[in-house]
Amino acid sequence: MLKRVKVLTMTAALLAAFGSNLLLGNAIAADKTSEVSVFSDKDLNTAAWLRDAARLDNASYRILESLTTEVGPRMAGTPADARAVAWAEAKFKELGFDKVWKEPVTFPSWQRGEEKAEIVAPFPQPLTITALGNSIATPAGGLTAELVQFATFKDLQAASPDAVKGKIVFINHKMQTAADYGSVQAGRTKGASEAARKGAVAIVIRSVGTDSHRFPHTGVMNYEDGVEKIPAAAMSNSDADMVVRMIKRGKPVSLKLSLSSGANGSYTSYNVIGEITGSELPNEYVLMGGHLDSWDLGTGTIDDGAGCAITMAAAEFIKRQGLKPKRSIRVVLFANEEQGLFGGKAYAAANEKQISKIQAAAEADSGQGPVTQLSSFVRPEAFAVVKQMQAVMAPLGVVAGDNNAYPGPDMGSLRSLGAASFGLTLKADDYFDLHHTPDDTFDKIEPARINQATAAFAVYAWMSANSPVNFGSGQEPLKSRK
């Protein structure tokens, strides 16, 4: 049931909603008198009912409990990766998805090994550290060198090789809020090659995390081609504070670092996909999902078991209520996000020729919720429907965002190909307390939070699947606007 309204009556509100990020506002302005399709009141009532019912359901909590208890840590390329894939296929089937399949994803495998560090002078103390993903090993027995401290990656970039040569670089960049992730992460991802170019023998960073517990945060790092590889590790914020206090005393501080991590051939895992098949346009599909792999230190609960569980439960709940989505809803659990977005890239490559079939894409990969904002990346003809989606989500505390949505790390590749996308922003205040640490465990999950996120994703999926307008994947202006 569709309802048609004059765009004329919507324009002011749409302009307010999309503000300065309004995509091609002139196109609307030029077409003020045309009509656009929106949801009928009846459809909106169904969506509101779905929202409220899903919020009282605990399916995502139970799915997450299952994944973290029965599989736990599932680092890409390990035996637990295969167990996670088997779990996902079985769980989709158990939940009653109409179709379940998997698509291969091949990547270089990395293994952690033993890891130890200690200050050997002037104040001998063990440190709590962990190897960064992709790090090579130290020589057997470890390496020992003086630390040289930099406040940020940029300071390392600006440093003279004379200050660095033969030393272990220590980047002491404290992450204060989730908004810092990008800038602080630069030291983790690019620090080793920058340090190696200046003659460093290893790099240790203050963990990229907002907590003050004695947990090191792992995470991927990359070596630049043609630059010598040096070992790379992270220490906990508590340890970094201590090392800073030692360095302040003015004597050289020497660290002994022992890692036995390293490359381990290649491995084929799978994106695992479950579909609720559409009743009218089954070949068009709404995508949502998370990444199935996790780091090995914790149990992959908030990163990203939560995203898998939220989106599996959102789709399953729609089906369980007997609602028939017009388009298909596909939940994709991506392989190996952590070490380089391998699953997301493989999925985009496999779907590049049928981007126009993707009605919308949105990923959950910032923890357990709640969802705080709904932003879009759609053609202007869909703005009115997006506004209706935002209105339905408003009682969840979800505010309207702009039309420049980031759909998440794995779905990002699809957006780059012109797929219509949504950003369901997850509140990440405490996400980087746990992110990539041993402390990412199920006891941190609060049902009210994950249930709200599930309700928001259910509304997203249902309204996208039943939208009276196509959101514009592969069409202008999305096609040419990356």
> Does 269 participate in binding a copy of itself (rule CB under 8 A)?
no
Residues paired with residue 102 on neighbouring β-strands, in sequence order = 272
**CA 455, CA 451: separation in Å to the nearest integer?**
6
Question: Given phi > 0 = left and psi -120 to 50 = alpha, else beta, which region is 141?
Answer: left
Binding to a copy of itself by CB under 8 A, coded x per residue (else -) over 243-262, reads --xx--x-------------
> Does 215 participate in binding a copy of itself (rule CB under 8 A)?
yes
Nearest approach in angstroms of CB 128 to a copy of itself is: 6
Question: Among the candidate windows 130-138, 323-331, 375-383, 436-444, which touches a copy of itself by CB under 8 A?
Answer: 436-444
Closest alpha carbon to 232 in 157, 108, 114, 136? 136
Nearest approach in angstroms of CB 305 to a copy of itself is: 13
Question: Among the candidate windows 38-46, 75-83, 333-341, 451-459, which touches a copy of itself by CB under 8 A?
Answer: 75-83
Pick 438 or 468: Cβ nearer a copy of itself: 438
Write the CB contacts of 405 (distance below 8 Å, at least 6 apart in sequence).
Answer: 362, 375, 376, 377, 415, 421, 422, 423
Near a copy of itself by CB under 8 A: residue from 3, 27, 65, 430:
65
Closest alpha carbon to 433 in 294, 336, 298? 298
> Does 439 participate in binding a copy of itself (rule CB under 8 A)?
yes
Near a copy of itself by CB under 8 A: residue from 124, 166, 252, 447:
124
Near a copy of itself by CB under 8 A: residue from 238, 279, 356, 475:
238
- Buried b / exposed e over 240-253, threshold 16 CB at 10 Å, is bebbeebbeeeeeb
**CA 202, CA 193: separation in Å to the nearest integer?**
10
**CA 396, CA 320: separation in Å to the nearest integer?**
21
Nearest approach in angstroms of CB 70 to a copy of itself is: 5
> Does 68 participate in binding a copy of itself (rule CB under 8 A)?
yes
Closest alpha carbon to 411 in 377, 383, 368? 377
Near a copy of itself by CB under 8 A: residue from 75, 100, 242, 396:
242
**CA 184, CA 290: separation in Å to the nearest integer?**
24
Near a copy of itself by CB under 8 A: residue from 83, 99, 190, 479:
83
Nearest approach in angstroms of CB 72 to a copy of itself is: 4
Near a copy of itself by CB under 8 A: residue from 441, 475, 477, 479:
441
Annotated catalytic residue: which of 337, 338, 363, 381? 337
Q: Active site includes 94?
A: no
Q: What are phi and psi of 121, to 5 degrees?
A: -160, 150
> Does 130 participate in binding a copy of itself (rule CB under 8 A)?
no
> Does 71 participate in binding a copy of itself (rule CB under 8 A)?
yes
465 in helix, strand or coil? helix
What torsion do the CA atoms of 456, 460, 461, 467 make, to the nearest 10 degrees?
Answer: 150
Q: In the structure encoding, which two tokens stand for residue 479, read together?
A: 């096609």
Q: In the structure encoding, which two tokens stand for residue 341, read together?
A: 């977005």
Q: In the structure encoding, which two tokens stand for residue 370, read together?
A: 């709640």
Which runs of consecutive H residues, i.e. helices, occur in 21-180?
Answer: 25-29, 41-55, 59-70, 79-94, 153-158, 161-164
299-328: contacts with a copy of itself (CB under 8 A): 299
**CA 218, CA 236: separation in Å to the nearest integer?**
10
Near a copy of itself by CB under 8 A: residue from 185, 237, 368, 375:
237
Pick 148 or 235: Cβ nearer a copy of itself: 235
Near a copy of itself by CB under 8 A: residue from 128, 421, 470, 473:
128
- Report DSSP state, residue 356: G
* Cβ burial, residue 83 (10 Å; 0-12/13-18/19+): middle
Near a copy of itself by CB under 8 A: residue from 241, 352, 402, 430:
241
Residues paired with residue 263 on neighbouring β-strands, in sequence order = 110
Pick 32 or 245: Cβ nearer a copy of itself: 245
Nearest approach in angstroms of CB 324 to a copy of itself is: 34
Question: Among the candidate windows 89-97, 409-417, 434-442, 448-456, which touches a copy of itself by CB under 8 A?
Answer: 434-442
Nearest approach in angstroms of CB 147 to a copy of itself is: 14
Residue type, 165: K
> Does 209 participate in binding a copy of itself (rule CB under 8 A)?
no
Question: Among the candidate windows 191-199, 206-214, 303-311, 323-331, which touches a copy of itself by CB under 8 A?
Answer: 206-214
Closest alpha carbon to 477 in 414, 418, 425? 418
Pick 49 or 123: Cβ nearer a copy of itself: 123
Q: In the structure encoding, which two tokens stand for residue 80, read together?
A: 């637990």
Write the CB contacts of 316 (distance below 8 Å, at least 6 apart in sequence).
Answer: 59, 95, 96, 97
Nearest approach in angstroms of CB 140 to a copy of itself is: 17
**How many residues at the interface with a copy of itself, by CB under 8 A?**
36
Nearest approach in angstroms of CB 238 to a copy of itself is: 4
Pick 209 or 468: Cβ nearer a copy of itself: 209
- Strands (E) in 112-141, as ranges, are 115-121, 125-127, 129-131
Interface positions with a copy of itself (CB under 8 A): 65, 68-73, 79-80, 83, 123-126, 128, 212-215, 237-239, 241-242, 245-246, 249, 298-299, 437-439, 441-444
State the catalytic residues.
Answer: 337
